[in-house]
Amino acid sequence: MDIVYTLWLRNVKRYIRSKSRMIGSLGMPVFLLLVLGFGLNSVVAIPGMEQGYIGFIIPGIISMSVLFTSVFAGIQVIWDKQFGFLKETLVAPVSRLEIMLGQTFGGATTAVIQGLIIFVLSLFMGLEVSSIPGFLIAIIFMILIGLSFTAFGIAIASRMEDMHGFQLIMNFVIFPIFGLSGALFPIESLPGWVRYLTLLDPLTYGVEGIRYGLLGSSQIDPAISFAVLSGFTVLMVAVGSYLFRKISI
């Protein structure tokens, strides 16, 4: 456990130290919140949404922030590989599973912090949290998104030689995962076949879970969201550990 903590500590330290990255990665979510939220708030009306369109997308933008930060944190392993630091960890008498778990917890922690920053900003934009337990539920879903997608990033990083493939992954995997997740639109409004895609997207359950927590209502039963996202997290951690074990430097 102390090894996991060691890796975690390093990740968090690096995160806290890189203010520019922290602020830089807030840019996109805040931009979307402002433009979509305020821009479309008066135009788009979602049935049953008391807090308007902006209230509807806040959980989506929080999820996005957690998603991007965590995938990025996982993919950082490639940097460690390229800049040599990975060797220092791999040559130590510790198991790869411990290293992988430490990275995952570290990445998830930074991702949740990033999500919380958006959450706090949202409060200034008029978000009204339904209840304290609701807030805790939202945090649990943020943690699950953070864990699963950091592990996902590590899995990808374990198979990639350098950062060249990064853009590809961003454009063809991460953006679609975000776009299809129902972060920006209600699932019910979609045509049948797109709705299936949405339901196949693990992030959908994260967004819906956070939505339930913060707003008190969601289109998917929170118990189902929790079950699906937990299952996905376990799967990703397993795949990530498996691939990380075979990493070569």
Partner 1 sequence: MSAITVENLTKKFGDFTAVKNLSFIIKSGEVFGLLGPNGAGKTTTMSMLSTMLKPSSGKAAVNGFDIITNEDDVRKSIGIVFQDQSLDEELTAYENMDFHGRLYRIPKSTRQKKIMELLKLVELEGKKDNLVKTYSGGMRRRLEIARGLLHEPKILFLDEPTLGLDPQTRNHLWDYIERLNREKGITIILTTHYMEEADKLCNRIAIIDKGRIIALDTSEKLKNDIGGDVITIVSSERDKLYSVIQYLPEIKNIEVHDSFLTIGLENAEKHVAQIVNMASETGIPIDSISIHKPTLEDVFLHFTGRIIREEEASGKEQMRLMHRVRK
Interaction of residue 200 with partner 1, rule CB under 8 A: no
Q: Could you say which residues in the range 83-122 bind partner 1, by CB under 8 A?
A: 83-94
Q: Retrieve residue 192's tokens.
A: 């049948």
How far apart CA 14 and CA 110 sit, in angstroms, is 10
Q: Of 4-12, 127-135, 142-150, 232-240, which part binds partner 1 (CB under 8 A)? A: 4-12
Amino acid at 25: S
- Contact stretch for partner 1 (CB under 8 A) within 3-11, 30-38, 137-145, 172-180: 3-11
Contact status: 245 vs partner 1 (CB under 8 A): no
In whole angstroms, the minimum distance from the beta carbon of 13 to partner 1 comes to 7
Q: How far is the CB of 115 from partner 1 (least distance, A)?
A: 23
Q: How far apart are CA 100 and CA 242, in angstroms?
A: 10
Tell me whether residue 63 or residue 89 sits nearer to partner 1 (CB atom).
89
Q: Smallest gap, in angstroms, from Cβ of residue 245 to partner 1?
A: 13
Question: 108 with 144: CB under 8 angstroms?
Answer: no
Tokens of 74: 């996982």
> What is the rounded CA–CA span in Å between residue 210 and residue 47?
18
Tell me the three-class secondary structure of 60-128, residue by residue.
HHHHHHHHHHHHHHHHHHHHHHHCCHHHHHHCCCCCHHHHHHHHHHHHHHHHHHHHHHHHHHHHHCCCC
Nearer to partner 1, 128 or 162 (CB): 162
Residue 134 or 165: which CB sits closer to partner 1? 165
Of the pair 15, 212, the CB lying nearest partner 1 is at: 15
Binding to partner 1 (CB under 8 A) within 11-30 occurs at 13-14, 17-18
- Shortest distance, position 152 Cβ to partner 1, whole Å: 23
10 binds partner 1 (CB under 8 A): yes
Exposure string of 1-13, with b = 16+ CB inside 10 Å and e = fewer, is eebbebbbebbbe
- Point out which residues bind partner 1 (CB under 8 A): 2-3, 5-6, 9-10, 13-14, 17-18, 83-94, 249
